[in-house]
Amino acid sequence: MADRDHAPLSIACVRALTDKQHDKRKAAASEIEKMVKEFAALNNTVQIRKLLRVLGTEFTMSQNPNFKKGGLMGLASVAIALGKDSAEYAEHLIRPILTNFSDNETKIRYFACEALYNVVKVTRGAVLPYFSEIFSGLSRLAADHDQGVKNASEHLDKLLKDIVTENATFDLVGFMPLLRERLYSKNTFARQYIISWVTVLDAVPDIQLILFLPELLDGLFDLLNDPNSRNLCGHVLSEFLRSINKDPSKVQFTQMINILINHSQSPDETLQMAALSWIKDFIHLSHEQMLPYTSGILSAILPCFAYESEAKRGIKDVAKAVNMNLMELINPKLDDEGQSDENHQRKPECDLDLSSVLDVLKKQLAHTSVNTKVASLTWLYHLHNSIPKRMLMQVDDLFPTLLHVLTDHSDEVVQHGLNVLAQIISPESEAGRVPVPDSPHHPYFENFLHSLIGLFREDRQLLEERGSFIIRQLCILLSAEDVYKSTAEIMRSEHDLKFARVMVDTLNTILLTSSELFQLRNILKNEENGKLFQCLYETWCHNPVATISLCLLTQNYEHTCELIMILANYEISVEFLAEVDRLIQLIESPIFIYLRLELLQVPHNYYLIRSMYGLLMLLPQSETFHLLRHRLECIPKLHFFHESRNRLKENESGNKYNLEFDTLRGHFTTIQDKHKL
């Protein structure tokens, strides 16, 4: 090959530089170094550039491995010879070497690392414009299968880190896209390499890496999935979180919260725990800035309430803490819908997206976990309590979901569902302030009772198994008198007679036995409440034994006698006898102690005695028959009271209420005739 082909290199130098033996190549490299120093002394930049072009194209780009090795050593020698002046030729020194980072031959990659190390060592800060290219190459070599290449790349990487940390001109903005991209590498070694760079950059006081955290956070959390990178990445994330807590003013919370929400739903426990911990601190530090993201946060934390295993207790505890902090952000100040006062206008970026929150809560109510459903219902209660005006606009959409909650298998879930419903339909609620024509109640109260009765009608098992619990809880949460009166008014027009009989039996049993209805029983015993009695009576007529018990409870004994005599005209069924049996058992309970004492009040107990004997005559001679008979044997004989009847005043009634009992008796007969058909 002619001398001019590789000028300014001599043929001998070229031959030595491309020799297989390392010592000969090394000698040629020394000759090149000497040559470049002479060129530099004469300021002969033309020859220097010509030499770089020869080495960078005809040698390092050659298909011959020995030419590549020689070219790499030659470029390193040029840089060493130029010293600080090599910065002027940085591009021609660096790029040919970087090309060989991806060479198929291990030795070539090794020599490329070694050559670039020598170049970077003398050029220092001049390599920064090419930092991204060098970084990309090193990130690939970090995963190299050859340990020698990896060791060489690590030496170069350490030098590069020193240069970056000491140089204020480092272009962090330009580097971010590349760093973000490399965070998603699938190779463990490449991941560890990237983490090491994040650690180094974060440690530099002059580099505010936290400002770029939104670009890096997703990739860093993704690295927690790798068991081999988990410890390193966990440490980096902990340091970032410590910095955030130290100076939250520089943190762009809203640009990162969705990333955290996404990772907090990961099946990986470590990743989930870390993300939830970050969310907890974000809420604590940024306050109302997190309000627009409430629905996403709830989607992440509510399923965690279902965790029961010891391994996930920590996650569950953090989720509860997040839930508490988030709930504290919901306050009456957010309930200023429609206010025109500028001082009350909310910033859109700090507002609560109520519709999306309710969508999440409704979805979580379908969860299999009792704890998750209870937490969701607690949220609904809190929202109604804190922002009732805004919640009022959502009631129609929410109502069917809450009704369905009443069919849940858990008493705790049903209880919380009733708490929310009571909050909506109570007179003190926003809905309660909406006037309803011709009704003392508000619309949702009536609508709810209609819907509840419809639910019981469609699902008789629900009525049988949960009806008593639901009605008793409603009477605790609301006015028992209002609940019973409104229910009776609705049931009065019930066409399903069999359902009406069962429903009245349920209501009556609760009325007679439940401690929650003690006050209502006392109200009914007051003779001033005849209208309430009549309202219940007209519906209670669907169940004759319930009607009799209502009359006994309210001390309308004369009418009780009349009803018992009327029943002689109807077929006595086994179901009827069973209900009479239960009534006798109730008469022996503390609820009717006043009635048993009235048996001693001569002569006013005439109709009561007749009623008791009438019930006795309806029963076959069973255990219950003898129970009542023994009770009646404890009082004077019936003929004594028959005589005392003559001493009663002619105008004295055996009923407590001053009502048209003839009309009531006619209504009772009409209803019984309908059931007979």
* pLDDT reported for residue 339: 44
pLDDT at 659: 85
Could you tell me the pTM of the whole model?
Answer: 0.84
Distance CA 618, CA 621 (A): 10
Q: What is the DSSP letter of 343?
A: G
- What is the model's pLDDT at position 283? 97
At 5-44, the pLDDT tens digits run 788 999 999 999 999 998 999 999 999 999 999 999 999 9
Per-residue pLDDT at 639: 47
Count of CB atoms situated within 10 Å of the CB of 339: 12
Distance, in Å, from the CA atom of 103 to the CA atom of 66, rounded to the nearest integer, reads 13
Placement of tokens 């309908």 in the chain: 674
Let me know: does 294 contact 353? Beta carbons within 8 Å.
Answer: yes
Q: Which of 273, 264, 269, 274 is nearest to 240 (CA)?
A: 274
Let me know: does 374 contact 414? Beta carbons within 8 Å. Answer: no
CATH of 1-170, one of 3.40.50.11930, 3.30.1340.30, 1.25.10.10, 3.40.190.100: 1.25.10.10
Domain ranges of the chain: 1-170, 183-244, 486-497+514-676
- Average pLDDT per run of 10 along the chain, which is 677 residues long? 69 93 93 94 94 94 94 96 94 96 95 96 94 95 94 96 91 93 92 94 90 95 91 94 94 96 95 97 95 97 95 95 96 69 54 94 95 97 94 91 95 96 80 52 83 95 94 94 95 93 95 93 89 95 94 92 90 89 90 85 79 90 90 70 51 74 91 84
Which tokens in the block code for residue 381? 């209660």
